[in-house]
Amino acid sequence: MFRSVWITSIFFSSFCTDTSNNGDLTSSDSDSSFVVSYLINSCGLSESEAISTSEKLNFKTTTKPDSVLTLLKAYGFTELHISKIITKHPSILSSDPHNTLKPKLDFFKSKGLYGTDLADFFSIGPRILMNSFSKVIIPSFDTLKGILDSDENVIKMIKRNSWILSTCGVENVMVNIELLRNQGVPETKITNYLIWHSRVFTQDADKFRKIVEKTKEMGFNPLYTTFLVAIHALASMTEVNWKNKMDVYKRWGWSEAQIQAAFRRNPRCMMASEKKIMAIMSFLVNEMGYDSSSAAESPLIFDRSLKGRIIPRCSVTKILVSKGLIKELIPLSAVSAMIDEAFLEKFVLKYEQQVPGLMKLFKGQLNCHQLLQN
């Protein structure tokens, strides 16, 4: 059974009337109110965010927080960037701006992150500002550069996953990459996949090894990119997720053998959400009249946008068939893989004079019913 390829193992409470205590509470409340007010007025937090965040902060003057905000603004951080950072990591307001924060900002700026990109990067992953500069950030960056060959490639990667710049993250990457090399995966495929999908490589080493073994058992060739995509797919799901997606495909009449074959052709068909799978199958089968098995033979279709590609292209060909301009619906492989320029030339521009509104249909500005009424 194909399902068996999944490995489970981968996967104040009372009121007090004492006057001295009342005095303490009043002082505490005053401090808290001061912090909340600062977070709202100086940092851009909402009232609810400020109240929640204030519980993790304790300062009685604004000297240090002000200097932190001044530094961040000097590097192009907007109030929105700052509010995101403080909400996620309030302790940054207690950091030493010149000895702790500035060297890190300068380092990443020197590597090609500056302006909005720099601010976006830290607002998405502010934890990196709390990592040791000399013990974590620099050695981690240098190690990754040794794999990816350039600062530019490392920056591309960490913009998608800043967590990788940690001791644990880099250690897992090194172990897992060495495993892939030993399996014969080409270096260029490893580095390209690492840049765009680094989270796959930060998996626990033991879990990653089991996934690699299972991927080989399923017949994937380490020389091809689909080997890495299959690893990605297996690593991204729990056993329950896997079973649920299997069940969705079976609801449309697919056998386990068909699911297995589709997964081998395009492992990403198991990375689509259950909702997306249902929506695509419903449209293709119920509205377009495709046989369910045609989707199993062209699983790349589940990589594509239903509204952005599938519906417009299928609608165009449906109209052309209805008017006798082409004999039959085009194969789903063409719906999935044909580049826009080729599709436009072959199915839209060629027939636009005979079918007014065809371009609008292709662009999603009309549906089939509206076009036929014109």
pLDDT for the residue numbered 149: 94
Residues present in the chain in total: 374
Query: Does 1 score more than 60 pLDDT?
Result: no
* Number of other CB atoms surrounding residue 245 within 10 Å: 21
CA-based nearest residue to 176, from 147, 145, 209: 209
**Which amino acid, 58?**
N
Instruction: Map residue 131 onto helix, strand or coil.
Output: coil
Confidence grade of residue 174 (pLDDT, cut at 50, 70, 90)? very high
Q: What is the pLDDT of residues 256-282, one digit of tens each?
A: 999 999 999 999 999 999 999 999 999
Confidence grade of residue 166 (pLDDT, cut at 50, 70, 90)? confident
Rounded mean pLDDT, 222-244: 96
pLDDT for the residue numbered 81: 95
Nearest-Å Rg of the Cα atoms of the chain is: 27
Question: 249 near 207, Cβ under 8 Å?
Answer: no
Q: What is the DSSP string of 206-241?
A: HHHHHHHHHHHHTT--TTSHHHHHHHHHHHT--HHH
pLDDT for the residue numbered 29: 54
pLDDT for the residue numbered 58: 83
* End-to-end Cα spacing for the chain: 52
Angle at 156 between CA 150 and CA 161, to 5 degrees: 120
pLDDT for the residue numbered 4: 43
Q: What is the pLDDT of residues 111-135, one digit of tens each?
A: 999 889 999 999 998 989 989 999 9
Query: Does 8 score more than 70 pLDDT?
Result: no
pTM: predicted TM-score of the whole model, two decimal places = 0.82
More confident residue, 22 or 332: 332
Report CA dihedral (262, 267, 273, 274) to the nearest 10 degrees. 30
* Number of other CB atoms surrounding residue 270 within 10 Å: 23
Rounded mean pLDDT, 188-202: 96
More confident residue, 8 or 65: 65
Question: 254 near 278, Cβ under 8 Å?
Answer: no
Query: Does 22 score more than 80 pLDDT?
Result: no
Query: Does 10 score more than 70 pLDDT?
Result: no
Rounded mean pLDDT, 331-355: 95
pLDDT for the residue numbered 344: 95
Q: At what angle do helices 205-217 and 225-235 cross, to 10 degrees?
A: 120
More confident residue, 39 or 22: 39
pLDDT for the residue numbered 374: 66
Cβ contacts of 268-272, under 8 Å, gap ≥ 24: 268/229, 268/233, 268/299, 268/300, 268/302, 268/303, 269/299, 269/300, 269/302, 269/303, 270/233, 270/237, 270/242, 270/245, 271/232, 271/233, 271/236, 271/237, 272/245, 272/302, 272/303
Query: Does 90 score more than 60 pLDDT?
Result: yes
The residue whose two tokens read 């002000």 is: 66
pLDDT for the residue numbered 3: 45
Confidence grade of residue 21 (pLDDT, cut at 50, 70, 90)? very low
Q: What is the pLDDT of residues 290-300, one digit of tens each?
A: 999 999 999 99
pLDDT for the residue numbered 5: 44
Among the residue ranges 20-29, 98-107, 357-366, the one predicted with the least confidence is 20-29
Mean pLDDT value across the chain: 90
Rounded mean pLDDT, 12-17: 34
Query: Does 320 score more than 50 pLDDT?
Result: yes
pLDDT for the residue numbered 30: 57
